[in-house]
Amino acid sequence: MLPRLSLQSFLEDLALIEDKINDSSKNAKVKLMTIHSAKGLEFDYVFVVGMEEGIFPHSNSFLEPEGMEEERRLAYVAITRARRKLYLTHTSSRLFFGSRNSNPLSRFAADIPEHLVNYSSWEGSLRENSGKLSRSFREEFAEAQYPELNVGDYVEHEIFGKGVVKDIDESIVIISFSGGTKELSREYAKLKKVG
């Protein structure tokens, strides 16, 4: 199985091969940008991700009226970039700086008049199809769950090799490998205990 790439690694790899991509259709592109760089542009379809309190608006703006108004202005910019369809997405929980958080829907999304919004969710389809998952997927998912670890346990990581657990908190494990000490997410590190 291939190791999971971080978003940064994926984008770096994508940038390296961008020159080799056959660009026969000028319209067959996806642009990933910040809201600040979208000013003045328009697109048929716009996806705004992270429409959650603490993300958008950012938690730094909660205590400053000017900051909240700047965030609201940015939300307006993002929403008005869409010519045909606008998709606002949010999650019920997210892993953020090593902690799992559950943030409510952004006040900016909640301010949109009800008759302009079409709510949809994948939850129903995921529940309906959960019994139809292939056995290999179930096995892979079970293997991805982190084992019970204690300080001093010897573990193996598919990229960093063998190491010893130095410290553990709720979501992070600190491991000393031969190449140095790493802080890894317990949920995604895919560690195996070794004797």
Q: Tell me: the pLDDT tens digits for 10-42?
A: 777 666 665 555 554 555 678 889 898 888 888
Higher-pLDDT residue of 4 and 179 is 179
pLDDT at res. 184: 85
Q: Give the confidence band of 136 by pLDDT, cuts at 50, 70, 90.
A: very low
Residue of 117, 66, 67 lying closest to 90 (CA atoms) = 117
CB neighbour list of residue 158: distance below 8 Å, 6 or more residues apart: 3, 190
In order of their start, the domains of the chain are 31-120 (3.30.160.800), 145-194 (2.30.30.60)
pTM as predicted: 0.50
User: Residue 99: is its pLDDT beyond 70?
Assistant: yes
DSSP string, 83-101: EEEEEE---S-EEETTEEE
Min mean pLDDT across 47-51, 111-115, 125-129 is at: 125-129
Mean pLDDT across 145-172: 84
pLDDT at res. 125: 40
- pLDDT averaged over every residue in the chain: 77
